A and B are shown apart, each in its own frame.
Chain A
Amino acid sequence: MRLVTGLTQLPDEQVDDAPAGSAVRLVLGVVVVLSLVNAAIWFGLDASPRNRGYEVVAHKWELARDATAPVDLLLIGDSSCNQGIRPEVLGEAIGGTALNLCAIGSATTAHDAYLLAYYLEHVGRPRAIVVVHTWDTWQRDASKLRAMLWKIPVGSAAWAGRRPELTLSSRERFNANFGGLLPLYSQQISVRALLRSPRGGERIEFLPGGFMPMESPGNTAWLEGNLSEHVALVEHEAFTVSEWSRSGIDATLDLAAAAGVPVLLASAPAYERLAENPSFQAWEDGYEAFLNELAGRDGVSVLLGRPVPLPAEQLEKVDHPNPDGAAVYSRALADALRHTPLEPVAPR
Chain B
Amino acid sequence: MQFNSFTFGGFLLIVLALNVALRDRRAQNAMLLVASYVFYGWWNWKLLTLIAASTALDYVLARQMVATDATLPPTGETAEVNARRRRMLVRTSVGANLALLGFFKYFNFFCDSAVTMARGLGLDVDPIVFDILLPVGISFYTFQTLSYTIDVYRRQLEPAESLLDFALFVSFFPQLVAGPIERASTFLPQVQRPRILRAGELVAGVHLITWGLFKKVALADNAAVYADAAFNDMSHASGLGLVLGALAFTLQIYCDFSAYSDIARGCAKLLGFELMLNFRLPYFAQSPSDFWRRWHISLSTWLRDYLYITLGGNRGSALMTYRNLTLTMLLGGLWHGARWNYVLWGAFHGLILVIYRIVPFLRDDVRKSDGLAGALNLAWRIPVMFALTVIGWVLFRAETFDQIRYWFTHASLERGPGDVRTAAALAVMWLPLAAVQTVQQLRGDLLWTTRLRPALQVAVLALLCATALIFGQREASEFIYFQF
Question: Chain A: residues with CB nearer than 8 A to chain B?
Answer: 1, 3-23, 25-27, 29-30, 33-34, 37, 170-171, 174, 184-185, 188, 191-192, 195
Q: Which residues of A contact B445 (CB under 8 A)?
A: 11-14
Task: Quote the shortest CB–CB distance from A169 to chain B (angstroms).
Answer: 8
A/B interface sample: 18 pairs, CB < 8 A: A7-B442, A10-B444, A12-B280, A15-B200, A15-B201, A15-B204, A16-B451, A18-B199, A18-B202, A23-B199, A26-B203, A26-B454, A30-B461, A33-B458, A184-B466, A188-B469, A188-B470, A188-B471
Distance in angstroms from A11 CB to nearest chain B CB is: 5
Residues of chain B within 8 A (CB-CB) of A30 are 210, 458, 461-462, 465
Is B15's beta carbon under 8 Å from chain A?
A: no
- Judged by DSSP, the binding face of B is helix
**Alpha-carbon distance A18/B440, docked complex (angstroms):** 20
Q: Which residues of B contact A22 (CB under 8 A)?
A: 199, 202-203, 454
Separation in Å of the A144 CB from the closest CB of chain B?
A: 13
Are A34 and B466 also in contact (CB < 8 A) when A1-B370, A29-B458 are? yes
Contact B469 A23 (CB under 8 A): no
Contact digits for B197-212, partner A, Cβ 8 Å, 1 yes 0 no: 0111111111000100
| Residue B443 CB within 8 A of the other chain | yes
Q: How distant is B375 from chain A, measured CB to nearest CB, in Å?
A: 5
Report the contact-size class of chain B (Cβ under 8 Å from the partner). 35 or more
**Contacts of A19 on B, CB cut-off 8 Å?**
199
Q: Which residue of B lies closest to A182 (CB)?
A: B469
Nearest 5 interchain pairs by C-beta: A23-B202, A29-B458, A6-B442, A33-B462, A4-B374
B389 on interface, CB distance cutoff 8 Å: no
| Alpha-carbon separation in the docked complex, A12 to B466 (Å) | 27
Task: Report how far A18 CA is from B202 CA in the complex, Å.
Answer: 9
Among candidates A3, A27, A188, residue contacting B442 with C-beta atoms closer than 8 Å: A3
In the docked arrangement, what's the CA distance between A99 and B7, Å? 42
Beyond A26-B461, A30-B458, A30-B461, 17 additional contacts (C-beta under 8 Å) are: A1-B372, A4-B374, A6-B444, A7-B378, A9-B444, A10-B280, A10-B294, A16-B450, A18-B198, A18-B450, A21-B199, A29-B455, A30-B210, A34-B465, A37-B462, A184-B466, A184-B470
Q: Is the CB of A6 within 8 A of B443?
A: yes
Q: Which residue of A lies closest to B281 (CB)?
A: A11
Decide yes or no whether B367 CB sits under 8 A from chain A: yes
B44 interface residue (CB < 8 Å to A): no
Q: Is the CB of B280 within 8 A of A170?
A: no
Choose one: A1, A9, A26; the contact of B375 (CB below 8 Å).
A1
**In contact, A8 and B198 (Cβ under 8 angstroms):** no
- Chain B residues with Cβ below 8 Å from A195 are 470
Specify which chain A residues have a CB less than 8 angstroms from the CB of B6 in the assembled complex. Answer: 170-171, 174
Q: Which of B367, B372, B465 has the most CB of A within 10 A?
A: B465
* A192 close to B371 (CB less than 8 A): no
- CB-based contact B374/A23 at 8 Å: no
**In the complex, which residues of chain B have a beta carbon less than 8 angstroms from the beta carbon of A11?**
280-281, 440-441, 443-446
**Distance between Cα atoms of A49 and B203 in the complex (Å):** 38
Question: Which chain A positions have C-beta within 8 A of B470?
Answer: 184, 188, 191-192, 195
Residues of chain A contacted by B457 (CB below 8 angstroms): 26, 29
Q: Which residue of A lies closest to B202 (CB)?
A: A23
Judge whether A17 and B281 touch: CB under 8 Å.
Answer: no
Least distance between B4 CB and chain A CB atoms (Å)? 11
Instruction: Indicate if the CB atoms of A25 and B280 lie closer than 8 Å.
Output: no
Task: Say whether B476 contacts A171, CB under 8 Å.
Answer: yes
- Chain A positions within 8 Å of B444 at CB level: 6, 9-12
Q: In the assembled complex, which residues on chain B have CB atoms less than 8 Å from the CB atom of A5?
A: 370
User: B413 near A: Cβ within 8 Å?
Assistant: no
Is the C-beta of B298 less than 8 angstroms from some C-beta in chain A? no
In the complex the two chains form, is A16's CB within 8 Å of B200's CB? Answer: yes
Q: Does B474 contact A (CB under 8 A)?
A: yes
Residues of A within 8 A of B447 (CB): 13-15
Given A13-B446, A30-B458: A8 and B378 within 8 A (CB)? yes
> In the complex, which residue of chain A has the Cβ closest to the Cβ of B448?
A14
User: Taking each of A23, A34, A170, A184, which has the highest tally of chain B beta carbons within 10 Å of its own beta carbon?
Assistant: A23
CB contacts under 8 Å to A, within B322-354, are none
Q: Name the B residues within 8 Å of A171 (CB-CB).
A: 5-6, 476
The interface centre, meaning the residue of B198, B200, B205 with most chain A CB atoms within 10 A of its CB, is B200
* Chain B residues within an 8 Å CB radius of A7: 284, 378, 382, 441-442
CB–CB A26/B469 < 8 A? no
Which B residues are CB-close (under 8 A) to A27?
206
Residue of A with least CB distance to B204: A15
